[in-house]
Chains A and B, each alone.
Chain A
Amino acid sequence: MNNIPVYSGPIIAATLAPLLGFYTLMVTHHVSRISKPLEQLIHSYGHWIPGSLGSGPLGSTGSYSGKEALALLVWLVSWAVFHSLWRKQDLSVEAWLPIFSGGLVIVSLGFIHPVVDPVIGLIRDMLGV
């Protein structure tokens, strides 16, 4: 076990990256509900995942696979990037903690349809989609 100098950068990178992945899940989920072509586009990113295509009693995971694939991509790429940028930096854990916790609460609410759908409706009206 290497006793390397303890910088906080790597732990912040390791926790920011999954948060960005969770937000990717949320955004792709709501985008996929706008129209069938958008749902198919998101689904296409997950075609490589076993079980993403198919019908009948066994079914398939459908566009959920595309949301997972995009979230996986954002999570792992952002982790690698932030880790390499911050591995020798000491960032404030005290400042990060409320952002991280608040971010988790907001993204969780983003999956509760009765709570988030009015907000999504407003955003769609503003963007005209």
Chain B
Amino acid sequence: MIEQHGTLSKTLVRTQAALALFVLLWLGGLDFFFPSHFSLQAGVHGLSTISAMVAATFLTHRAYHLIRGVHINMRSLRYWALAATVLNFFGAVSGNWVYMRYRGEGGAKDWILAHAPSFHNVMMEFKEFVSLFPFPLMLAVTFVLFYYGDALATRRDLLSFVGLLMLIAWLFLLLGFVSGLTLAKLHFL
């Protein structure tokens, strides 16, 4: 009976996570169908940043284990960190692609400067730079996990630092994500 409950809860947890990911991806995925000549850029950036956000959020659960010094599957962690790094890279590259149109003729920047200038002069000027932070931080995490291998588990201070790095990368990703969504709500590409 207990075994059945364990299987049921595991199935429910995985179903909930898969459904949440699927529905959240609509946030960016539906951009492909928006009435704009630049819906491709918006859709690609939306999907890559939401995927990066989900992967980084998942990693924060592992980060607390590292900080507490609880034993975790390091092999699985290495590959999740690598996946999060790749997704952050796509997010940054597609961000450059979107930024081109943002600054383009008749783009969001012109409209925002004319109607709500602080959102460009303060929020966008902050967002365009801090959005570049998660990729190198997550790459540092991935590098460290692969470089030290399982021997990392022998150094509690380094494990805690890696966990903290994951949380910091997640925070900058969240800052960029929320400010990006806010700007997109003000004016679509």
Contacts and interface: CB of A to CB of B under 8 A. Distances in A.
A64 B126 contact: no
Interface residues of A, number: 44
A4 interface: yes
Given A1-B150, A25-B132, A11 B158 contact: yes
Given A55-B105, A57-B106, A108-B130, A6 B100 contact: no
B107 interface: yes
B170 interface: no
Interface residues of B, number: 43
Contacts, number: 115
A119 interface: no
A59 B101 contact: yes
B76 interface: no
**Contact residues of B: prevailing secondary structure:** helix
Interface string A1-25: 1111110101100110110011001
A14 B145 CA distance: 12
A25 B105 contact: no
A49 B130 CA distance: 19
Contacts of A128: none
A70 interface: no
Q: Which interface residue of A10, A21, A94 has the most chain B CB atoms within 10 A?
A: A10
Contacts of B154: 6
B100 A61 contact: yes
Nearest to A49: B96
A54 B100 contact: yes
Given A17-B140, A22-B129, A59-B104, 20 more contacts: A1-B146, A2-B149, A3-B150, A4-B151, A8-B158, A11-B148, A14-B140, A18-B136, A25-B132, A56-B104, A57-B107, A59-B103, A60-B100, A61-B96, A65-B96, A93-B158, A108-B126, A111-B125, A113-B125, A113-B126
A55 to B, nearest CB: 7
